[in-house]
A = this chain, B = another copy of it.
Amino acid sequence: MRPTAKDLAEAAGLSLATVDRVLNDRPNVSPKAVRKVNEAIERIGFIRNPAAVSLARNKSYRFRFVLPTSGDLYLAELLHRVEEARLNMKGDLVDLDVVQIAIDDPHRVAKYLAAIDENEFDGIAMMAPESPQVRDAIGRLIERGVKFVQFLSGQEKLPTADFVGVDNYAAGATAAKIIGRFVGQRAGKVLIVAETMQSLDSIERRLGFDDVVNSQFSHLQCLPSIETHGDARRASQILQRVLENNQEVAAIYVLSSEARIPLEGAASFTDLQKITVVVHERTPFSERGLRDGNIDAVIAQDPGHAVRSAIRIMRARTDLREPHAAQDKIRIEVLLKENL
């Protein structure tokens, strides 16, 4: 039989009450008692029964995901995964919650964070926009005891908050490697499209992309980034101009999560099948593109995994445990038609 707290008390030569004090960091315990208990824990291999702990505490975890209001297919996918997780975790005393706010307005975001009641939530996972205001607001939220996860995006990493998501520099580098190897020896230009280059994510991806192209595929020439700002008409116009001025486009790299608008635009003026196309994130659109041959590769981070990982991290932090680094790292996936 597994040793219980009672066994532990006996092994430590102390009473159950003192053992309880040590186990739960209660006040009025002598250092000597702490030592004795810890030693006994090691000796008899005591592990708290998490089921009993959970039952006795009888409190549930309250977490909130804060996502943007604007977005397209990937956002829909994310919302879907959060909802899925919500239902799955309902039984495990995890109460999930999603709100969507205009994430590109740092002022409003900061205000939103300031208004969060620390007694209402144990943890917040958020796609945080880049801004000193927001960073400070996050800092204050953390000081009020709310666990914070930077979700998929945002900020030069805060040392006090956890981050869930991929290394965007590496993601960009991976895209570049694929484009370079797929295009082959022949020279050509690479068209790079983003929703916006304002975000740190885009900048990092572009950086990783350029570094690999310059060092390994210098026969390719990267064109300046095109920004769509989520506007289909505008995107289409710009793309037309650029594609007409550059006949030798050998590849297109869409570095934002939403590839539909730029690619549907580009498809009107060029044959995507003939050029190498790499985009980010798995969505119904990018999946179809892979199957059709319009997209050659997708660089993805599994949104379901990301959501679960964020939850695990918030739960661990709430319990004052360390998260399991390995399991919670998000991989940069490379999707081809063959391994969908």
CA distance A99 to B302 in the complex (A): 33
Closest to A182 in B: B181
Which parts of A7-38 form the interface with B (CB within 8 Å)? none
Which parts of A300-333 form the interface with B (CB within 8 Å)? 302, 304, 308, 324, 326-327, 331-333
A88 within 8 A of B: yes
A144 within 8 A of B: no
A336 near B174 with CB under 8 A, answer yes
User: Within the oligomer, what is the number of copies of this chain?
Assistant: 2
A267 within 8 A of B: no
B55 near A338 with CB under 8 A, answer no
Q: A48-B91, A50-B91, A91-B47 are in contact. Are A173 and B338 (CB under 8 A)?
A: yes
A146 within 8 A of B: no
Which parts of A54-88 form the interface with B (CB within 8 Å)? 54-55, 60, 84, 88
Residues of chain B lying within 8 A (CB to CB) of residue A308: 327
How big is chain A's contact interface, by range? 35 or more
Closest to A175 in B: B338
Contact of A177 among B49, B184, B338 (CB under 8 A): B338
B324 near A334 with CB under 8 A, answer no
CA distance A334 to B47 in the complex (A): 38
A84 to chain B, nearest CB (A): 8
Residues of chain B lying within 8 A (CB to CB) of residue A181: 181-182, 296
A191 to chain B, nearest CB (A): 19
A171 near B91 with CB under 8 A, answer no
A115 within 8 A of B: no
A177 near B337 with CB under 8 A, answer yes
Residues of chain B lying within 8 A (CB to CB) of residue A91: 47-50
